[in-house]
Amino acid sequence: MTPKTITETNECARMKVICSASKTKNVAITQDSDALSSVDVSTKTQDRVDTIFEYISKQTAYRPKVGLICGSGLGGLSNCLKNVDTVPYDSIPEFPQSTVEGHIGDFVFGQLSTLSVVCLRGRFHTYEGYHIRETVLPVRVLYLLGVRYLIVTNAAGALHPDYHIGDFMILQDHLNLPGLAGLHPLVGPNDFRFGPRFTPLTECYDANLQQIALQTAEKLHLTDRIRQGVYCFVSGPTYETPTECKLLRLVGGDAVGMSTVPEVIVARHCGMHVLGLSLMTNKVNYLGSDGPAASHQEVLDAVRASQKEIEMYVREILLAIQIQLKE
């Protein structure tokens, strides 16, 4: 199936990204021709959010309070949902398309017990050629659909020497390296429908949801695999050099990855309660040529090895959130 080409203005150039996965995907991606024109990008993004929301809201009667963004290879997290409505990304006007192996590319709306949930099976990254404001489009759409609790998951590299492949890290904080350099999803005119011009991030990850995640791990006898730490966001697509890994560890990083943080920032801008979960899929290489080289296949293999545990873990967290919402 060939995705619909996104309508572009004269100021935008079309960029075709070809990604070899189980089958080749040819995807048209919009890239603003003037990277400094944040006003234009912001206006176009706001219009696209409205168009996307209007389309999706006609495809399903669900108005979920809980959203779940699935990281690389983690699309199976939607398996716990019943009575599902599926909306493929390539059927949605103006919506970006997933190009990375391990990202299916659809919204899955459904029920877990009496809780309405929407899963995004596939996220977007700046390394695919998307403007950073495009990568967070889905979060604003989720907000308009009614989502107020957001769980973001990812596959990450372990910086902390005591972390092991297969461990789960509950995010307590993050380090937004691209954001510190100006590549930030809230740059440009502020859309006050979603939140204020200046958003504090001192409590980015909800303390109550972190406690639920810890209690759920204890219930499932997973405490020996649970960590709490700081996630470092880097833009990719290259994996980190040994010196970069040492720097990230030196400034307090426990895990590193190429996603999640822009989504979290926009979710907090919208006032959502956020829980972040990282699955450790590789240990970073501090040794250079004397150490192992990271690969995307290694990441996907590690996800598959822990698939049952993380699906069970997230399912029980969702059920605990359901109980809290009833109280």
pLDDT of 277 higher than 80 = yes
- Confidence (pLDDT) at 134: 93
What's the confidence (pLDDT) of residue 41?
Answer: 56
1 assigned to some structural domain:
no
Between 307 and 265, residue with greater pLDDT: 265
Q: Where are the alpha helices (DSSP H) in 58-165?
A: 132-135, 137-145
In the predicted structure, residue 292 carries a pLDDT above the cut 80:
no
Number of folded domains in the chain? 1
Q: Rounded to whole angstroms, how far apart are CA atoms 247 and 133?
A: 27
| Mean of the per-residue pLDDT values of the chain | 87
| Residues 164-199 as b or e (16 or more Cβ within 10 Å = b) | ebbbbbbbbbbbbbbbeeebbbbebeebeebbeeeb
Active site residue 221: no
Which pLDDT tens digit goes with each residue over 179-191? Answer: 999 999 999 999 9
- For residue 259, say whether it is annotated as part of any ligand binding site: yes
In this structure, is residue 57 part of a structural domain?
yes
Q: Does the residue 2 lie in any domain?
A: no
Given a cut of 50, whether residue 32 has pLDDT beyond it is no
Instruction: Please report the pLDDT score of residue 15 as a whole number.
Output: 38
pTM: 0.85
Instruction: Please report the beta strands in 159-197, taking only residues with DSSP state E, as ranges in sequence order.
Output: 168-176
* 6 within some domain: no
Q: Each residue of 4-21: b (16+ CB within 10 Å) or e?
A: eebeeeeebeeeebebee
Q: Of 130, 155, 267, 278, which residue is the catalytic one?
A: 155
The answer to whether 193 is a known ligand-binding residue is no
* Torsion, Cα of 28, 125, 269, 105 (10° steps): 60
259 is an active site residue:
yes
- Please report the pLDDT score of residue 4 as a whole number: 41
Is 208 assigned a catalytic role? Answer: no
Is 168 assigned a ligand-binding role in the annotation? no
Instruction: Please compute the mean of the pLDDT values over residues 52-61 and round it to a whole number.
Output: 96
Nearby residues of 290 by Cβ (< 8 Å), 6 or more positions away? none
101 falls within a domain: yes
113 catalytic per annotation: no
Give the residue, 164 or 13, on which the prediction is more confident: 164
CA angle 158, 161, 165 (to 5 degrees): 45
Q: Identify the H or E element spanning 86.
A: strand 82-88
Catalytic residue selected from 94, 128, 134, 263: 128
The domain that holds 28 is classified in CATH as: 3.40.50.1580
Range of lowest pLDDT (1-5, 74-78, 136-140, 304-308): 1-5
Active site residue 258: yes
Percent of the chain having pLDDT more than 70?
Answer: 86
282 annotated to a ligand binding site: yes
State the pLDDT confidence band at 44, using cuts at 50, 70 and 90.
confident
Residue 306 has pLDDT above 80, yes or no: yes
Which of these, 180, 179, 276, 282, lies nearest to 229 by C-alpha position? 276
> Would strands 226-233 and 255-257 be described as parallel, antiparallel, or unpaired?
parallel
Q: Is residue 5 a part of any domain in this protein? A: no
Catalytic (active site) residue 20: no
Out of 42, 62, 94, 125, the active site residue is 125
Domain with 203, as residue range(s), is 12-326
Q: Please spell the DSSP secondary structure of 118-140, one letter per residue.
A: EEEE----GGGT--HHHHTHHHH
Domain assignment present for 315 = yes
Is 83 annotated as catalytic?
Answer: no
* Structure confidence at residue 8 as a pLDDT band (50, 70, 90): very low
Q: What is the pLDDT of residue 38?
A: 52
155 is in an annotated binding site: yes
127 is catalytic: yes
259, 278, 285, 306: the active-site residue: 259
How confident is residue 30, by pLDDT bands cut at 50, 70 and 90? very low
Region 207-235: mean pLDDT is 97
Q: What is the mean pLDDT of residues 259-274?
A: 98
User: Is residue 122 predicted with pLDDT exceeding 60?
Assistant: yes
174 occurs within a structural domain: yes
Q: So what's the pLDDT on residue 57?
A: 96
Q: Which of 258, 272, 280, 302 is catalytic?
A: 258
